[in-house]
Amino acid sequence: MATEDSKLTVRAVERALDLLLCFTDDSDLSLTELSGRVGLHKSTVHRLLASLEGKGFVRRDPASERYRLGYRMWELSANLSQDDEPAVILLPEMERLRDLLGETVSLYVRDGLERIRVQAVQSSQAIRRVAPVGARLPLHVGASGKVLVAFGAAELRQELLASEVWSDAGQREAFERQLEETKRAGYATSLEERETGAAAVAAPIFNRAHRMVAALAVSGPINRLSADKMGEDAAFIMEAAKRMGKMLKP
Amino acid sequence: MATEDSKLTVRAVERALDLLLCFTDDSDLSLTELSGRVGLHKSTVHRLLASLEGKGFVRRDPASERYRLGYRMWELSANLSQDDEPAVILLPEMERLRDLLGETVSLYVRDGLERIRVQAVQSSQAIRRVAPVGARLPLHVGASGKVLVAFGAAELRQELLASEVWSDAGQREAFERQLEETKRAGYATSLEERETGAAAVAAPIFNRAHRMVAALAVSGPINRLSADKMGEDAAFIMEAAKRMGKMLKP
DNA sequence: AACAAGGTTTCACTCTTTGAAACGAGAGGC
DNA sequence: GCCTCTCGTTTCAAAGAGTGAAACCTTGTT
């Protein structure tokens, strides 16, 4: 890939943010590790880290001298969940749906060519789908991925289909067919697409301006969520999604 | 103040982080607002925001076109609470203390010349101290501030006393006396120092290497937490703090 | 239609960032 | 005790990257 839009962004900033993103995989890292991770010279990384540390985005563990995310991140993350965030507003409704169906309920929003699980309530059953909030997942596998693409902007669909995520043309064409099916049915399903033994049903949530803002997903083990069962549950999920859409701000 | 260590940090990165910090006050901001806030030219801010947006740290509300924190922040904040974080490990003990005393319990760590409330469990009483997690507060007022300074590094104490936070020398000297009293007693109290009608008792939490890692505070309305009552509660709080210290990782 | 108020892009100047290399500071090993 | 290896920090010259004024575009308003 070429330099693309070399003028429109600031390289040093992007590099610093790449450093921050290293901490999604590991909680603490040394300078040399970070340097290797992002492929930059030690001195460059050191300078960038000093800037991050100065603003409190990164700190050094007093004992190990290793770098970790700083407390400014705690401060910022506390302000993430504003009252107008779907992840906050829809939580009670998600709990109701969880209690109704007995399975784990998740809420996804799209971010670029990926999706983020911004909220989740776990099933209380012994065998259940565990869904950590904050997880970033691909858009081209899973029920909510299909929903987010099928009911999203046409440009997104083009961009995803033209991207490099497909193992072969067959996979891409199968996905395209599933998109059509999703638009027709109003919901999507997935059987062991991303995790073996796991199944999911997902439906779009539209705000009052008829724009899709999130995907609501119910997921669990395949022996409880058979194809038939998912078809039945879909009605409840779509109804809940409709109700949720009316609760949103804009 | 002069340019200080002009060579050791990266200006563009610091500016970008300043932009991110603007979102602790407001959930969404326009380019012009941000530009005014940080005192930089629109085009500069635009370029920095493009970099932040490209990495997902900032996004634009599709409806209002205004900037907000992006979903990468959700992802990162989900990874903040590692299993070795005091804020996570100590939560059950904090709940026990809350049930024992019936008042709001908070956990603070120092960050620079400030402190962050990294965890809190609210009292269940109708009149109670509300303590949002993530809040950044000054070090020179409040019971936990005194604890964090009194039992912290000597350099920190020097730095704080030499800083510009004091309204007059009398205030600073009173604070120094309270530090001595705190070290002697093993805990600190505050009566309406930061918020009128609020009182607090705080004790240090030391890890097994005898380094102070956090301050444990119990706070409530001044009519329930009289000076006498605080003295009695202090024993429970110090005992809880001691127990908590043994639960920490390093 | 003309205007105003954001937001976006261009462009020349130069200041800032960059990475190699030198320097320090510990931690083991011999 | 000395040497060596590794990791973090600072220095420095070269140039590439960031900066902000200004022009441009887009959208909504009078």
Give the pLDDT confidence of A218-233 residue by residue, as tens digits: 999 999 998 899 999 9
Q: Which nucleotide is nearest to A13 (CA to C1')?
A: D18
- Domain match, A51 and A146 both: no
Q: Is residue B183 part of a domain?
A: yes
Q: Is residue A3 part of a domain?
A: no
A84 touching B (Cβ < 8 Å): yes
The more confidently predicted of residues A181 and A3 is: A181
* pLDDT recorded at residue B7: 62
Give the total number of structural domains in chain B: 2
- Domain match, A140 and A192 both: yes
- Report the pLDDT averaged over residues B125-141: 88
Chosen domain end from B22, B51, B78:
B78
Q: Is residue B166 part of a domain?
A: yes
CATH of the domain at A38: 1.10.10.10
Q: Is residue B201 part of a domain?
A: yes
- Report the pLDDT averaged over residues A41-70: 91
Residue tagged 């600190």 (tokens): B188
Q: Within 7 A of a protein CB, which nucleotides of strand C?
A: 6-11, 16-21
- Report the pLDDT averaged over residues B74-95: 87
* pLDDT recorded at residue A212: 94
* pLDDT recorded at residue A127: 84
pLDDT band at A4 (very low <50, low <70, confident <90, very high): very low
Q: Is residue A5 part of a domain?
A: no
- Domain match, A102 and A196 both: yes
CA-based nearest residue to B143, from B110, B188, B92: B188
pLDDT band at B78 (very low <50, low <70, confident <90, very high): confident
Q: Is residue B1 part of a domain?
A: no
- How far apart CA A18 and CA A31 sit, in angstroms, is 14
* pLDDT recorded at residue A80: 82
- Domain match, B225 and B145 both: yes
* pLDDT recorded at residue B250: 62
Q: Of A105-109, B125-129, B147-151, B191-195, where does mean pLDDT reach its minimum?
A: B125-129
* Close Cβ partners of B103 (under 8 Å, ≥ 6 residues apart): B123, B125, B128, B129, B218, B219, B220, B224, B225
pLDDT band at A250 (very low <50, low <70, confident <90, very high): low
- Gap from B9 CA to D9 C1', in Å? 13
* pLDDT recorded at residue A3: 32
Range of the domain at B202: 86-247
* pLDDT recorded at residue A155: 87
Chosen domain end from A61, A78, A95:
A78
Chosen domain end from A78, A106, A123:
A78
Q: CA-nearest residue of chain B to A213?
A: B62
- Domain match, B123 and B182 both: yes
- Domain match, A72 and A187 both: no
The more confidently predicted of residues A81 and A171 is: A171
- Domain match, A211 and A156 both: yes
The answer to whether residue B2 scores a pLDDT higher than 50 is no
The answer to whether residue A241 scores a pLDDT higher than 90 is yes
Rg of chain A, C-alpha, whole Å = 21
- Domain match, B73 and B106 both: no
* pLDDT recorded at residue B25: 85
The more confidently predicted of residues B131 and A108 is: A108
pLDDT, chain A, mean? 90
Q: Is residue A1 part of a domain?
A: no
The answer to whether residue B85 scores a pLDDT higher than 90 is no
* pLDDT recorded at residue B225: 92
Q: Within 7 A of a protein CB, which nucleotides of strand D?
A: 6-12, 17-22
Q: Is residue A61 part of a domain?
A: yes
- Report the pLDDT averaged over residues B21-43: 92
Q: What is the pLDDT of residues A9-39, one digit of tens each?
A: 899 999 999 999 999 888 899 999 999 999 9
Number of neighbouring beta carbons within 10 Å of residue A54: 18
CATH of the domain at B139: 3.30.450.40
- Domain match, B27 and B94 both: no
3-state class (DSSP) for residue B56? coil
- How far apart CA A105 and CA B241 sit, in angstroms, is 37
Q: What is the pLDDT of residues B113-131, one digit of tens each?
A: 999 999 999 998 888 888 8
Do residue A134 and residue B79 have CB atoms under 8 angstroms apart? yes
- Domain match, B67 and B100 both: no
- Domain match, A96 and A197 both: yes
- Domain match, B117 and B198 both: yes
* Angle between helical axes of A11-21 and B42-54 (0-180°, round to 10): 30
Is the Cβ atom of B43 within 7 Å of strand C at any atom? yes
Do residue A47 and residue B8 have CB atoms under 8 angstroms apart? yes
* pLDDT recorded at residue B18: 94
- Report the pLDDT averaged over residues B43-54: 93
